[in-house]
């Protein structure tokens, strides 16, 4: 991919980005390996998303109404003075039963002009028992501009209302489900959500 970009400081840049992706599925063992993307960008390459920022650096998040300025985590920080250089991403999943999957993924992002990097690691397990599905995930992430590693443990469970109904029930609630999610961060911060969804 080649791009000619103009940044918020009115500077112009021209560069290229190359991507390699490999995917392998081992049906005999239920293993799926995705390597992966390796992406290399030259020093003058900036993506379309990079050019959308109104400032060269800052803390921003994207909402339904667009980009807003807040005081978020370091993972929301961007700095166009150091554009992306190389990125390696690996994803491996292993089916452990008819309805269970164990997965592991990781990524490493380097930048031009600095030896700082983004690093991320995710591990989790998805499963379902009859019609009840649940998942457990643990993630480690560190932004190039932060000094600490974020650690997050999350749990999610979904139960359809049909679980408590007769098989011949015609209730409109049959297509609805109840869902509960719990998230715990390294510093003790916790958040939980519960709700109903369906058609």
- Residue 182 falls inside a structural domain: yes
Q: Among candidates 58, 48, 62, 53, which has minimal Cα distance to 78?
A: 58
Residue 131 inside a domain? The answer is: yes
pLDDT of res. 61: 57
pLDDT band at 71 (very low <50, low <70, confident <90, very high): very low
Residue 113 CB-density burial (10 A; 0-12 exposed, 13-18 middle, 19+ buried): exposed
The verdict on residue 65 lying in a domain is no
| Host domain of residue 171 | 12-41+82-198
- How confident is the model at residue 105, as a pLDDT? 94
Is 124 within the bounds of a domain?
Answer: yes
- As for how many domains the chain has, the answer is 1
pTM tops 0.75: no
Indicate whether 96 belongs to any domain.
yes
30 lies in some domain: yes
Residue 60 covered by a domain: no
In a domain, 73, yes or no: no
């Amino acid at each position: 991919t080649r791009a000619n970009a103009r940044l918020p400081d009115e500077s112009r840049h021209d560069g290229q980005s190359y991507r390699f992706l490999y995917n392998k599925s081992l049906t005999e063992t239920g293993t799926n390996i995705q390597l992966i993307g390796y992406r290399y960008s030259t020093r003058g390459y900036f993506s379309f998303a990079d050019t959308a920022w109104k400032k060269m650096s800052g803390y921003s998040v994207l909402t339904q109404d667009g980009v807003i300025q807040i005081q978020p985590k370091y993972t929301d920080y961007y700095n166009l003075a150091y554009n992306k250089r190389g990125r390696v991403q690996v994803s491996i999943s292993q089916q452990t039963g008819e309805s269970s999957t164990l997965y592991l993924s990781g990524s490493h992002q380097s930048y031009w002009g600095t030896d700082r990097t983004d690093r991320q690691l995710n591990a989790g397990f998805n499963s379902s028992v009859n019609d009840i599905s649940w998942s457990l995930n643990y993630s480690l992430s560190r932004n190039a501009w932060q000094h600490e590693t974020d650690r997050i443990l999350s749990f999610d469970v979904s139960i359809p209302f049909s679980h408590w109904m007769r098989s011949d029930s015609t209730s409109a609630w049959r297509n609805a489900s109840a869902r509960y999610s719990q998230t715990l961060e390294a510093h003790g911060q916790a958040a939980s959500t519960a709700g109903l969804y369906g058609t």
